[in-house]
Amino acid sequence: MERTFLDMPDSQGYFGEYGGQLIPPQLKAVMDDINTAYDQVRQTAAFQDELAELYAHYVGRPSPIFYAKRLSQRQGGARIVLKREDLNHTGAHKINHCLGEALLAKHMGKTKVLAETGAGQHGVALASACALVGIDCEIHMGEIDIAKEHPNVVKMKILGCKLVPVTRGTRTLKDAVDSAFEEYLKDPVNFIYAIGSVVGPHPFPKMVRDFQSIVGREARAQCLTQHGRLPDMVVACVGGGSNAMGIFTEFLPDEAVQLVGVEPAGKGLDTPDHAATMARGTKGAIHGFACYTLQDAQGEPLPVYSIASGLDYPGVGPQHCYLKDIGRVNYESITDDECLDAFMTLSRTEGIIPALESAHAVAYAMKVAKTMSPEQTILVNLSGRGDKDADFVSQKLGL
């Protein structure tokens, strides 16, 4: 693959026509500072060693790859191998970039890390990273979500972050973003807004990708040592797209390896209740960057839906948009029903309860495995564990 491909984004933060900094000049200056500090610090051995140390002894990296033998045999066809990000401390891949962001904040002498959270997963990972690094953390969360996500709310409080309930508007994620962002604008020089995926203005899509790319670096090496060859296909779910970019990045130059991002089709692509940005979105902008979005005629984000709240986003990371256009990654979608089926099937064939987000990737692998040969391998990024979803699923299925 030509080098330009891996040199992305360009100096303005563009991946082709996507990304950039669609923000007021005052904020652009702050983002440029973050970019400069990041480019500088990530080169240093001190920063790399500290992050590597935390990945190893705090997160528990490398996470294993695991051949899901009973699942593969049940489906027939390709071997399904899981990258076990569900085994990380705090239960998902998010800790990989939260640690990077918290360390950068500390390095830059920021006084407070700010973020919003929907279901609370980003909030818990960030609050943990901030407690560890020793920096103040403030999380904004809609009142409706606070009522729904009790275990994560309690965890964030125990971890010592300031939890700000958001009472305006729909009292959910969108209003939490607005509220946290207003607080950030009070002092963007001293505060930092820790974005939870490969989205937002430059340099966040680049930084979050870099912090997550450990997943693919490990997985590629593990496939070579343990299976003697690269996988034929790598599959990951896509909300904003951080776990997918994390596992895809190292495989981008391996042209023989097919890469598949799986979006939530919710109740069906032909209903309004989905969040399939690639399948149904158009070129637009959201949260300070250009990407495919699900938008109305005025360019306002449409309400989106998925059974997995972590996939419920009307935009998608700019690098994914570029990779779709050049055809390097295929984007497919999985419905709520297929996701629930994969959730139960993985639990009962392998004794692994996946996050509903990750179950989308598992569901796609289960479907496509049947069309492949037993000599072929599908590597699935199991982005998180399903403890958070167990009550919901058992109620839904009447277990």
Q: Which are the catalytic amino acids?
A: 94, 116, 383
Under rule CB under 6 A, residue 238 binds ligand PLP = yes
Q: What is 195-241 written as a DSSP string?
A: -SSS-SSTTHHHHHHHHHTHHHHHHHHHHHHHHSS--SEEEEE-SSS
Count the residues of the shown chain that bind ligand PLP, applying the rule CB under 6 A. 18
Which of 100, 203, 216, 241 is in the footprint of ligand PLP by CB under 6 A? 241
Contact (CB, 8 A) for 51 and 99: yes
| Beta-bridge partner residues of 380 | 82, 235
Phi–psi pair at 166, nearest 5 degrees: -105, 120
Under rule CB under 6 A, residue 242 binds ligand PLP = yes
* Closest CB 381 distance from ligand PLP, rounded Å: 8
Instruction: Considering the complex, state which of residue 77 and residue 310 has its C-beta at the smaller distance from ligand PLP.
Output: 310
Alpha-carbon distance 158 to 139, whole Å?
A: 13
Please give the residues from 341 up to 370 whose contact with ligand PLP meets the rule CB under 6 A.
355, 357-358
Under rule CB under 6 A, residue 237 binds ligand PLP = yes
* Strands, E assignment, 44-135: 65-67, 79-84, 112-116
Under rule CB under 6 A, residue 377 binds ligand PLP = no
Under rule CB under 6 A, residue 243 binds ligand PLP = yes
* Closest CB 360 distance from ligand PLP, rounded Å: 8
Which of 184, 383, 389, 393 is in the footprint of ligand PLP by CB under 6 A? 383
Tokens of 274: 């989905």
Please give the residues from 172 up to 231 whose contact with ligand PLP meets the rule CB under 6 A.
197
Q: Binding string, 298-327, against ligand PLP, x = CB under 6 A?
A: ------------xx----------------
Using the structure block, give the residue that is written with the tokens 């994560």. 152
Alpha-carbon distance 271 to 294, whole Å?
A: 13
Task: Tell me how far apart the terminal alpha carbons of the chain are, to the nearest angstrom.
Answer: 49
Apex 138 CA angle, 157 and 147, nearest 5: 50
Under rule CB under 6 A, residue 138 binds ligand PLP = no
Q: Binding string, 52-91, against ligand PLP, x = CB under 6 A?
A: ----------------------------------------
Contact (CB, 8 A) for 94 and 125: yes
* Closest CB 197 distance from ligand PLP, rounded Å: 3
Query: By the criterion CB under 6 A, which residues form the site for ligand PLP?
Result: 92, 94, 121, 197, 237-243, 310-311, 355, 357-358, 383-384
